[in-house]
Amino acid sequence: MTFRNQGNQTKPLSPCPRIEVIQVMQFQFFDNGSNRRKGSSQHTMMLEAYCEGRLNLFKPYWKRTVALIEPKLVLKWADENLATGEMTASIHERYATLYAVANEIMADDDSEWSKMGHIGSKRENTRYIGQFVLVSRYKDGSMNCVVSIDGELLEAGRFQHDLRAKPGTGRRKAYAFYDPNGLYEAMKAEQLQIAETSIRAAAEPAEGTLGEVPWK
């Protein structure tokens, strides 16, 4: 009998965690410009979920980059999966609802664009049914992002422009957080306190000295 080498198999990537276990989600918006490679999307949204322990932005529990495309393409995919029985009517209704919202936004004279995108695994060529995003941008630069996770909605807070963003560098253009418990602000306050303590400690004379003369 021949056994397959299990050690060489790559573990499938997991879908987005349930909303109730997400403590913080970071949203990072990228504009790849008009000179992007063929077949890639101009706009993408990186999602990073933090679900356990202290908030460490360098170690997300879960992470995906979502290509933003025309809403009609996302709804068409949902229609096809409903027809084959892969998607329930209740989940399909969420797609249809946010598709209608995207069209309403585009009808607004202040809107620049409104796009949707599938959450999935590019490595496995998989789209997670019931997990997708709706992202809108307005002419004044403001943005909105809603994530649909298995029938529930999670909305980003106010987007901020990344002051270090420059065309052609590949750096994010804007970012936002879903942070219902204020963990991100608490982390920044803690970092500021540590920095201020370090500055004060560096300015004080070394222990055991008075002026520049060591105590005896």
| pLDDT reported for residue 30 | 95
Residue 70 domain-assigned (yes or no): yes
Tokens of 20: 């109730």
pLDDT tens digits along 79-129: 999 999 999 999 999 999 999 999 999 999 999 999 999 999 988 899 999
Q: Considering the entire predicted model, what is its pTM?
A: 0.82
Residue 156 domain-assigned (yes or no): yes
How many whole angstroms separate alpha carbon 187 and alpha carbon 38?
40
How many whole angstroms separate alpha carbon 103 and alpha carbon 114?
8
Residue 123 domain-assigned (yes or no): yes
Q: Buried (b) or exposed (e) across 136-154, using 16+ Cβ within 10 A?
A: bbeeeeebbbbbbbeeeeb
Mean of the per-residue pLDDT values for the chain?
A: 87
pLDDT tens digits along 16-63: 999 999 999 999 999 988 666 776 889 999 999 999 878 999 999 999
- Total number of domains in the chain: 1
What domain range is 143 assigned to? 19-198
| pLDDT reported for residue 7 | 47
Residue 10 domain-assigned (yes or no): no
| pLDDT reported for residue 209 | 52
Residue 159 domain-assigned (yes or no): yes
pLDDT tens digits along 178-197: 999 888 888 888 777 777 67
Residue 213 domain-assigned (yes or no): no
